[in-house]
Structure 1
């Protein structure tokens, strides 16, 4: 869904087209939950209350976004989600590492811990780039065909450097086998048995990390997603010592 198409859906939804609103929400769900997770600094699922607040903020963004303002829609969504979550934690009086808003000399300032600020800045530099966000949404649509949700990747990603390197090798080996790639694309599932026969990789490793391997294969099959590979490395790496 390109920018022009997004703007058309936003206009239609703001004018009462519920079908357009639903399409916008479904298309941007990976972005919404990923944004909520980064703001909260923990893994978030759709059963968490914070994800519901993210959806509400997105819905409000559809109604209030000014297409003529000097701000992209997704940047605007990010700001609304962040504000909604800050208000939520303040209301609930929960302990959190989110920025605390204070009043000083008639100005509103945000007091943050350095590492949180640095993390947020790094996240904004990456996720708020339109090209990267669009690549993430496109990947999400492809993964949905394999019954994989984009937000699952963080939970199923390898925690150790050696494991990650091994899975990268497995994905690269798989792509070198046209017969298996063709089956993969047609049947929308990873041909584990045949791949093991041809490659000799361990079935236990593949079964344990199959969703992540599928994501790696899909990304490598789309060289036009120039930023996504690096983004996955940073966001889902969480590398520990091997």
Structure 2
């Protein structure tokens, strides 16, 4: 069955190689490009900080300043030969610096003061192997969070079509052949611009057109209507994490 945060929007979404190239240029001394990166990815920085703090973050908060400094730090420290994408690395650096900031604030509130050198040493203690292991672990956590974000976005989209997860689970085709046929119809809907436009505008299947294009009877299509719509929306809206559920 389909048991079910679109990805955050960034200027380079879907073009990671361009992002990494820009970071290299910024590292080489292109300060204007560095400024453009920091300015353009402020929404990204806010979102990362908000997840750490579990509350809304605005530009006046200390955490926001810490996050921007961390993003700039990530530009300086990023190494493409580590095998990670820049935004994954930047996400990790921002989280760590914000968490360090929160911990320092908590220590100060408890009147426990540690030497600055100790914090500085702690920040520099990871070697290359440890950093790679940390990035690998973080990528797993990031994928989990992105999957949860996708599920939330998908659930809201389904509501526009009058479909809930509970209803979808009950109406999922029981037989493999029926499920595969429904998936094929869903792919057809997603790849045909005329059919997909009808689906998104009318919030229902273009039954007459589908009857002309597929071998299934109208009754069969109607019986699996909600499942077909649900799968088609996954393809149409590029919910990549959720596609693994229906393609497996």
Q: TM-score range by the shorter chain?
A: 0.3 to 0.5
Q: Which of the pair has the greater relative contact order for Cα pairs under 8 Å at 6+ separation?
A: 2
User: Larger helix proportion, structure 1 or 2?
Assistant: 2
For the pair shown, the structure with the greater C-alpha radius of gyration is 2
Please report the TM-score for the alignment, with normalisation by the length of structure 2.
Answer: 0.42
Normalised to the residue count of structure 1, the TM-score between the two structures is 0.43
